[in-house]
Amino acid sequence: MSTAGLVRVLLCDDSPAARSVISRMLSSDPEIRVVGKAADGTEALAQLTAFAEADRPQVVLLDLEMPRMDGMTALPLLLKAVPGTAIIVASALSQRGAVATMTALRAGAVDYIPKPSAAAGGMSGGQFQAELVAKVKGWARMRRPSSRPAMPRAAAGWLGTAMPRPRAIAIGSSTGGPQALAALVARLDRPLGAPVIIVQHMPVGFTTLLADHLNRIGTLPCCEVGEGQSLLPGRLYLAPGDRHLIVREVAGGLVAHLGDGAPKNFCRPAVDPLLRSLVATCQGRLLVAILTGMGSDGLAGCRAVSRAGGVVLAQDEASSVVWGMPGAVARAGLANAILTVDDIAARIVAACADGKRT
């Protein structure tokens, strides 16, 4: 049967049960075809290189912990054998899994999918399947560029709108976010006159290592923010996994508060609580960027930002792995501009440089 036009996937996992469950989840989507299954990196490499170019998998889902040849050993070999293959690593929800994941992302993996523990319901949950399918389809599309999707118009008049220098810059991201954040942070190559506050949907432990990753690749210092920490201009602060980040004003400065409130938009940390708190403290002196991600987290917060006179930037569909979060903001007419990640970074730098327009 022809697989032309389908998203072709190679699964590599030493567990027959995991291969069966993941294959069934992916195959439930009519646009995805699992074209190969391997029990370790050696088998995955042999299978990937045996495909004719027209039938070759665009995406490899690679388990990191396997006998004979594990995922970390296989990753560079797969990339060398078939450059351009999108490799998504599967890792355990543990500190060890987080370390392995960030190492794999630095080595060329495009994304990760955390495997829920048996105590958390295993891989039977609908959220795991939704994230898995979204990442596989999103990265296959990114590796198969076609004509640029039509974009909604940005909010009128934004180019000529003068605004005071932002008191804070907020960034929200989810699916595909680690790579988008890395690209954006690498472009922030000069001092900024405001703190950059980031919410990335990620589990506990993973955010610590993501902050360290961003700290290594960028000019500006980045850390996972702590309770009561002052938010200083020219620094990047990442919300920790499983804690909402709220910003309060204390003695004329911005201070982080971490909360255990109920998840918002099925997420904790979530973008909306951060944006609402920033509107309360910064009013219209706020610049927000919503990057790639599933769902609509950030939409309600961006409405509040827009009403207060702040500026909202949304990542464009063509460069987003999943145009859920930025798409929701764009379709609602809240985006002052719809841009690539590189252009968003340039707008942030410009906003802090002249303090008059974004």
Output the tens digit of pLDDT for each of the chain's 358 residues: 556 689 999 999 999 999 999 999 999 999 999 999 999 999 999 999 999 988 999 999 999 999 989 999 999 999 999 999 999 998 887 778 889 999 999 999 999 998 876 555 566 668 889 999 999 999 999 877 564 555 555 554 444 445 678 999 999 999 999 999 999 999 998 889 999 999 999 999 999 999 999 999 989 999 999 999 999 999 999 999 999 999 999 998 999 999 999 999 899 999 999 999 999 999 889 999 999 999 999 999 999 999 999 999 999 999 999 999 999 999 999 999 999 999 999 999 999 875 544 4
254 CB-near residues (< 8 Å, 6+ apart): 167, 168, 195, 230, 231, 247, 248, 281, 282
Whole-prediction pTM? 0.91
Which among 297, 306, 319, 320 is annotated as catalytic?
A: 297
In the chain, which residue ranges form alpha helices assigned H by DSSP?
16-27, 41-50, 71-81, 95-106, 126-142, 177-187, 206-217, 271-282, 299-308, 325-331, 341-354
Around 339, how many Cα atoms within 13 Å sit in the side-chain half-sphere? 19
- Token pair belonging to 213: 């990753």
**Residues 297, 264: contact at Cβ < 8 Å?**
yes
Amino acid at the residue 336:
N
The secondary structure of 62-79 as a DSSP string is EES--SSS-HHHHHHHHH
Q: Does 13 participate in catalysis according to the annotation?
A: no
pLDDT of residue 353: 79
pLDDT of residue 149: 54
Which among 63, 91, 173, 201 is annotated as catalytic?
A: 201
> Nearest 5°: phi and psi at 108?
125, -5
**Residues 175, 298: contact at Cβ < 8 Å?**
no
pLDDT of residue 147: 44
Asked whether the domain spanning 158-354 has the same topology as the one spanning 7-142, the reply is yes
Domain locations in the chain?
A: 7-142, 158-354
92 CB-near residues (< 8 Å, 6+ apart): 65, 114, 115, 117
- Euclidean distance between CA atoms 187 and 342, whole angstroms: 7
C-alpha closest to that of 326 among 138, 130, 136, 112: 138
Class for the domain spanning 7-142: alpha beta
C-alpha distances out from residue 9 to 88, 139, 256, 309, Å: 10, 11, 42, 45
Q: Does 189 participate in catalysis according to the annotation?
A: no
- Euclidean distance between CA atoms 196 and 348, whole angstroms: 10
Which among 91, 173, 174, 306 is annotated as catalytic?
A: 174
Class for the domain spanning 158-354: alpha beta
Q: Does 201 participate in catalysis according to the annotation?
A: yes
